[in-house]
Chains A and B, each alone.
Chain A
Amino acid sequence: MSDQGAVPAVGPARIGRGSWLLAVVTLVVVGIAGVLVGSVAIDPTSALKGLADGLPFISLGSGLSEVQERVLFEIRLPRVVIGGIVGSILAVAGAGYQGVFRNPLADPYLLGVAAGAGLGATFVIGAGGGSGFIPPVAFVGGLLAVLATYVLGRTAGGRTVTSLILAGVAVAAFATAIQTFLLQRNYETLREVYSWILGRLVTVGWGEVLVLLPYALVAGAVLVLHRRLLDVLALGDDEAAGLGVDVVRVQRIVVVAATLATAAAVSVSGLIGFVGIIVPHTVRMLTGWSYRLIIPLCLLYGASFLILADLVARTAVAPAELPIGVVTALLGAPFFVVVLRTVRGSQ
C-alpha cells in the first residue's frame, strides 16, 4: 500500500491473516448455529440440506416439512441475517466513534441517537400507531436528535469535540425526559415501549433486511475506507493536520455514516446495548490498536456477537423469548472482564 509509509505502525500488522481467518470462521460457525438451533426442533442434517436447496442448481431433497421450511426461511434465517447486520453496524459505529472522539467510552448512542429513536418509538406506540410505523419514526427521531446535538454543539462551543459530546448528553437527557413523560401518560403502552428499549428481533423478516442493508453497506464502506485516517487521527488533531489530513472533515464523515447506520439499526431492532463498546474493545485487546484491523474485524465479530446473543435470547427459555438487550449485557459484561484480565495478565 502506498500510504503505508505515512502511517506509523500503530498495531502489529502481521497478526493480520490469522485474525481474519478466525473472525470469518467464527461468523460462519455462529451463523450456521443460529440457523440450526431454535425453539422448533429441526433435524440439523435436513436443515443444512434445506439451506443448500435454497442455493441455485442444488437439489438434495431435505425432507423438511412445509412448516419447518417456513420456520427456517421466513423466520430464522432473516432473524440471523438481521442480527448479523445490526451487530456489525453497532460494533463498527462504536469503533468509529471511539476513533473520532479519541474516547474509549464513546458508543453508537453517544450523540443522542438512542434517546431520539426511543422517543420516536414511544410516540408511535403511545399514539396507537401500528408497529409498522415504529422503524421510520424511530429513524427520524434518531436523526433529529443528532441534528440537534450537532447544532447545539456548534453554537455552544465551536468545533471542539467536547462541546459536541456535552450537547449529546443534553439532547439525550431532554429526549429521555419527554419519553418518560409520554410513558407516564400512557401506562398501557409501557410494555411495548419497554420491549422495544430492550431490543426486539422477535418479528423481523426479509422486509427489515432490505430496509437495513443499504445503510449497513454504505456505513460499512465509508468506515472501512476511513480506517487508515482514523489511525492518523489517533495521533492527535495537530499531528494529523500536520500530515495533511482534514481532521474536521474526516470526523464529520465518520460520525454521519456511523449515526445514519445506527439510527437505521435501532429503528429495526430497538435499543441493543453494549455491542458498540464491547466488540471494538475486545477486538482491540486481541489485535492491537490499528483501526486498519479493528474496523473490518468489528464488522465480522459484531455480527457474530449479536447472532450468538440472539441465539441465547431465543433458546434459553424456549419456546419463550428473552429480551436480546438483556442477553448482550449479561453475556457481554463478564466476557469483557475475562478478555480484559487475560490481556492484562499476558502483558
Chain B
Amino acid sequence: MRRTALLIALLFAAACSPAESGDITTSQASSTTVVETTTTSAQTTTTDSNGFPVVVTDANGEVTIEDEPRRIVSLSSTATEMLFAMDAGDQVVAVDEFSVYPGEAPITELSGFTPDLEAIVEYEPDLVVISYDPGELVSGLSVVGVTSLLLSTAASLDDSYAQIELLGEATGHAGEAEDLISEMQIGIDRILAATVVPPGISFYHEIEPTLYSASSSSFLGQVYALLGMENIADEADPDGFGFPQLASEYVVSSDPDLIFLADSSMGVTPDSLAERPGWAEMTAVQGGAVAILDEYLASNWGPRVVELLQSIADAVTTLAPVT
C-alpha cells in the first residue's frame, strides 16, 4: 500500500531527483582531515566511537554534525531501515507513520510528506532524516537549531550505498555501514550467481493501473537491470525521468515475457490484467508469467533491496519461458 517514494519522485522531484541523489557523497576524506588536525591523540579518530564533529554532504550541500546524535527522528522509511540495519536503532527516538520495518522501530504518527514542525520538535531530536522536503522543513528545523539530512530517492544502487555510508558517518556507525554495504553486495552477487536468466527476456513492471512503469533510470529499474532483462519501459523514457506512463498498445505489442505487479493493493491481479482490452492474448498473461511484488519493498531503496532482488529472481526462475 505504500509507494510514496516513487510517488514523490514522480510528482515532485521529477527532473532533479537523479541529479540530486547523485550529488550525495560522504566527504569522509575531508572530515577525517579536519578531525586529524584538531585532535591531538592521533590514531583513534578513525574508529566509530567518536569522530565528531563530522561534515557530510546531503542533497542540499554540506551539513556539519557536531556531536554523535542520540535522538534521531527518521521521516523516511528507507532511512529507518538503513539506521536499524547499521545498529543505530538505539539512537532513533521516532520514525514516521510509514516506517513499518523493522518492527522494533518506534513508529509514530509523524508524517514525512506533510511534516508538522512542532510535532517533530516535540521529540527533541538532535538529527532529523528526511527523504522529501515539501518546502520549508529543512530551513524550519535549522531555525529551531535541529540538524537535518535530506536523502532523496535513490536513482541507483550506488546512490543507496552512498546514503548508507553517509548515515554511518553521521551517526557514528561508519564501520557498521561499510559492513552493511558489503553484506548487501555479497547478497546481490549470490543471487545473481544463482539465477539463470534466459537470454532476451523482457519484462514490464507496473506501478499503478494507469500503466505507470519504472525505467532503468529509476532505482527499481536498476535492480531489474542487474538481472540483464530488457525493460520495455526504457524506450518510453528517453530523458531518463524514471517513471514513464506507457501506452496500452505499446505494452500489448511489446508482449513482455514477464509482468511484475506492484499495484495489487489497487485491485490489480493476474486475472484482472486479462480483462483489459487487448491484454488477454499477451504471452505473459496467457502463460501465467505474472508476479506480484511486495509494494513496500519495491518502493524503498534500503538494505532490503536484496530481498526485492530475490523475489524478482525467484519469479524469473519459476515463470520465465524456457528457451
Please tell me if the beta carbons of A321 and B276 are within 8 angstroms of each other in the complex: no
Q: Which residue in chain A gives the minimum CB-CB distance to B299? A: A188
Please tell me if the beta carbons of B4 and A131 are within 8 angstroms of each other in the complex: no
Stretch at the interface among B52-60, B138-146, B222-230, B245-253: B245-253
The answer to whether the Cβ of A25 comes within 8 Å of any Cβ in the partner chain is no
Q: Which of B4, B208, B237, B277 contacts A187 (CB 8 A)?
A: B4
Q: Which residue in chain B gives the minimum CB-CB distance to A76? A: B249
Please tell me if the beta carbons of B114 and A184 are within 8 angstroms of each other in the complex: yes
> Smallest CB–CB gap between A298 and chain B, Å?
28
Please tell me if the beta carbons of A314 and B4 are within 8 angstroms of each other in the complex: no
Please tell me if the beta carbons of A321 and B252 are within 8 angstroms of each other in the complex: no
CA distance A194 to B207 in the complex (A): 14
Q: Which of A66, A194, A207 contacts B11 (CB 8 A)?
A: A194
Please tell me if the beta carbons of A66 and B281 are within 8 angstroms of each other in the complex: yes
A61-94 interface bits toward B, Cβ cutoff 8 Å, 1 = contact, 0 = none? 0000011101100111010000000000000000
CA distance A317 to B215 in the complex (A): 15
Report B-chain residues with C-beta under 8 Å of the C-beta of A320. Answer: 236-237, 244-247
Q: Which of B7, B247, B255 contacts A39 (CB 8 A)?
A: B247
Please tell me if the beta carbons of A203 and B266 are within 8 angstroms of each other in the complex: no
Please tell me if the beta carbons of A203 and B211 are within 8 angstroms of each other in the complex: yes
CA distance A319 to B11 in the complex (A): 20
The answer to whether the Cβ of B267 comes within 8 Å of any Cβ in the partner chain is yes
Please tell me if the beta carbons of A129 and B267 are within 8 angstroms of each other in the complex: yes
Report A-chain residues with C-beta under 8 Å of the C-beta of B268. Answer: 130-131
Given A187-B7, A202-B245, also A195-B272 (CB < 8 A): no
CA distance A129 to B268 in the complex (A): 10
Please tell me if the beta carbons of B245 and A40 are within 8 angstroms of each other in the complex: no
Please tell me if the beta carbons of A67 and B211 are within 8 angstroms of each other in the complex: no
Number of A residues near B (Cβ < 8 Å) is 40
Report A-chain residues with C-beta under 8 Å of the C-beta of B4. Answer: 187-188
Report A-chain residues with C-beta under 8 Å of the C-beta of B1. Answer: 128, 188
Report A-chain residues with C-beta under 8 Å of the C-beta of B3. Answer: 188
Report B-chain residues with C-beta under 8 Å of the C-beta of A195. Answer: 208, 210, 212, 245
Please tell me if the beta carbons of A318 and B209 are within 8 angstroms of each other in the complex: no
Please tell me if the beta carbons of A192 and B208 are within 8 angstroms of each other in the complex: yes
Given A191-B10, A319-B235, also A38-B249 (CB < 8 A): yes
Report A-chain residues with C-beta under 8 Å of the C-beta of B245. Answer: 195, 202, 320-321
Please tell me if the beta carbons of B252 and A75 are within 8 angstroms of each other in the complex: yes
Report A-chain residues with C-beta under 8 Å of the C-beta of B246. Answer: 319-321
Given A191-B212, A192-B210, also A130-B267 (CB < 8 A): yes
Q: Which residue in chain A gives the minimum CB-CB distance to B265? A: A128
Given A38-B249, A314-B247, A319-B236, also A128-B267 (CB < 8 A): yes
The answer to whether the Cβ of A205 comes within 8 Å of any Cβ in the partner chain is yes
> Smallest CB–CB gap between B149 and chain A, Å?
21
> Smallest CB–CB gap between B312 and chain A, Å?
21
Please tell me if the beta carbons of B113 and A75 are within 8 angstroms of each other in the complex: no
Report A-chain residues with C-beta under 8 Å of the C-beta of B114. Answer: 184, 187
> Smallest CB–CB gap between A276 and chain B, Å?
23
The answer to whether the Cβ of B61 comes within 8 Å of any Cβ in the partner chain is no
Report B-chain residues with C-beta under 8 Å of the C-beta of A321. Answer: 211, 244-247
CA distance A194 to B12 in the complex (A): 12
The answer to whether the Cβ of B2 comes within 8 Å of any Cβ in the partner chain is yes
Q: Which of B11, B209, B236 contacts A203 (CB 8 A)?
A: B209
B→A interface (CB under 8 Å): 1-4, 7, 10-11, 113-114, 208-212, 235-237, 244-250, 252-253, 255, 265-268, 272, 276-278, 281
Going nearest first, the 8 A-B pairs with the smallest beta carbon separation are A130-B267, A205-B277, A319-B250, A74-B278, A320-B236, A320-B244, A71-B249, A74-B277
In the assembled complex, 27 residue pairs joining A and B whose CB atoms fall closer than 8 Å, in A order, are A39-B247, A39-B250, A40-B247, A74-B277, A75-B249, A128-B265, A129-B267, A130-B268, A187-B114, A188-B4, A188-B7, A195-B208, A195-B210, A195-B245, A202-B210, A202-B211, A205-B278, A314-B247, A317-B236, A318-B236, A318-B250, A319-B246, A319-B247, A320-B244, A320-B245, A321-B211, A321-B247
